[in-house]
Amino acid sequence: MPTLLYLSAVRRTLVLIAVFVAIATGCSSAKSSTVSGPTTVAPAGDAFYAGPATRPGGGPGTLIWSQAIDAPAGARAWRILYTSRSVEGRDIVVSGVLVVPNGSARAGGRPIVTWAHGTTGTADICAPSKAKDVASTLPDIAEFVKDGYVVVATDYEGLGTPGLHPYLVGESEGRGVLDAARAARQFPGAHASANVAIYGYSQGGHAALFAGQIAPSYAPDLHVVGDVAGAPVGDLKLLLPVATRLPSVRGLAVMGGFGFAAADPRADPKVLLTPAAYALGRAKVEQVCSDGVVKAFADPKMTVFTKNPLDVAPWPELLTKNTPGNVKIEFPVLALQGLADELVAPSVTEAWRKRACALGTPVEVKTYPGQDHGGGYKASLGDAAHWIEDRFAGRPAADGCSKTP
């Protein structure tokens, strides 16, 4: 299961095994630099993330409330809460961060970049929006602000908000990413258009691909122009079983087991774990972030898993369902891959590319020789930003499906 940087300077790299992100619609140009939040006053502290007792109408992506937070130069930023829908069909609330450039919007409104973050954990304290400087650590934020884009970053379902985060459950991640863009369109004064680019890395690359797969059916109101997936978790049937055997990352596999159970009651981690490991997992996954979970299961003398997930139903079915590349994406996709990445190996991304190309997804892959997981993230930032700029400008994207990287 992947682990990684929320955007900031690469946190201590965990082995993801890899080898395992205007109450008005705001589509017209702005005449004023003033940007204000929703009129409903948001409560402080944990009550912000709990949401109102009565959910607002309007469907997934409805903006509930916001709080101003520290912003990067040339912009204003808010912590936001919005509605979404779980894979089980429940109405839920999801939190995130919104950044809006100062000054007037372009004619037709500001394009939206919706960001999907890498692994932080499954406990509420791991929600990226809880960090004071989170808005300034979003990738390429200076360039996106300069270009006049709105940037929105979901925390994902269950990170900060009620319930456990369904870690690496693709549709849950994808809905959070798309509904964040919908909420940005409703933010008063953001003047955000329906034009959207999706961008994510590591777990966020996985989320970005699933957002791309479900966008036409789940969010047809959004005009998605392109999808950037950095070091995406491209094959869970390969990565999860391997992670269960490596002490350095099996804590992530434990986290994934509990995360899958959050979305599907059939996925009981108790059948895979020793009783002691199950009890430790229950104690850790909602209390500490990914570093802490990994540390808790890192003792090589500890027996954690008793069975291979591929040998126990419904795990093979769930791992296949949550592996990207089995559904065509209708718009251009850019994959970013460090060639020295030992967390999400180049072979994993290449296998995803072949599956996606076979379905007709227009795919381009950019590789970075000598770069590992964190290095590939930093090396790819400029390429990701320029590729997104080209998509918003309507320039044609390259299609690498006829090439072998």
User: Which of 300, 318, 336 is the last residue in one of the domains?
Assistant: 318
Q: Are residues 271 and 130 in the same domain?
A: no
- The 150-154 sheet, strands edge to edge: 63-69, 75-85, 91-101, 150-154, 110-116, 192-201, 223-230, 333-338, 363-368
Q: Which tokens in the block code for residue 132?
A: 């004071």
Q: Are residues 261 and 301 in the same domain?
A: yes
The parent domain of residue 275 ranges over: 240-318
Q: Are residues 79 and 225 in the same domain?
A: yes
Domain membership of residue 138 (yes or no) is yes
Q: Are residues 287 and 167 in the same domain?
A: no
Q: Are residues 213 and 88 in the same domain?
A: yes
pLDDT at position 169: 98
Q: Are residues 50 and 174 in the same domain?
A: yes
Domain membership of residue 65 (yes or no) is yes
Q: Are residues 142 and 173 in the same domain?
A: yes
User: Which of 318, 339, 369 is the last residue in one of the domains?
Assistant: 318
Cβ neighbours around 47 below 10 Å, total: 10
Domain membership of residue 7 (yes or no) is no
Q: Are residues 330 and 231 in the same domain?
A: yes
Closest by alpha carbon to 191, among 75, 392, 25?
25
Q: Are residues 166 and 209 in the same domain?
A: yes
Q: Are residues 231 and 305 in the same domain?
A: no
Domain membership of residue 4 (yes or no) is no
Cβ neighbours around 87 below 10 Å, total: 17
The tally of domains found in the chain comes to 2
Closest by alpha carbon to 372, among 44, 4, 1?
4
Q: Are residues 100 and 207 in the same domain?
A: yes
Domain membership of residue 219 (yes or no) is yes
pLDDT at position 401: 92
pLDDT at position 405: 55
Q: Are residues 150 and 221 in the same domain?
A: yes
pLDDT at position 241: 87
Q: Which tokens in the block code for residue 148?
A: 């006049």
pLDDT at position 56: 83
Residues 350-357: contacts with CB under 8 Å, at least 24 apart:
350/405, 351/234, 351/235, 351/325, 352/209, 352/232, 352/234, 352/235, 352/324, 352/325, 353/325, 353/400, 353/401, 353/405, 355/325, 355/326, 356/324, 356/325, 356/328, 356/329, 356/401, 357/401
Domain membership of residue 266 (yes or no) is yes
Domain membership of residue 9 (yes or no) is no
pLDDT digit string (tens) for the chain, length 405 residues: 444 343 333 333 333 333 333 333 333 333 333 455 665 789 999 999 999 988 888 899 999 999 999 999 999 999 999 999 999 999 999 999 999 999 999 999 999 999 999 999 999 999 999 998 999 999 999 999 999 999 999 999 999 999 999 999 999 999 999 999 999 999 998 999 999 999 999 999 999 999 999 999 999 999 999 999 999 999 999 888 888 999 998 999 999 999 999 999 999 999 999 999 999 999 999 999 999 999 999 999 999 999 999 999 999 999 999 999 999 999 999 999 999 998 889 999 999 999 999 999 999 999 999 999 999 999 999 999 999 999 999 999 998 897 665
pLDDT at position 35: 56
User: Which of 272, 295, 318 is the last residue in one of the domains?
Assistant: 318
Domain membership of residue 58 (yes or no) is yes
Q: What is the CATH number of the domain that holds 189?
A: 3.40.50.1820
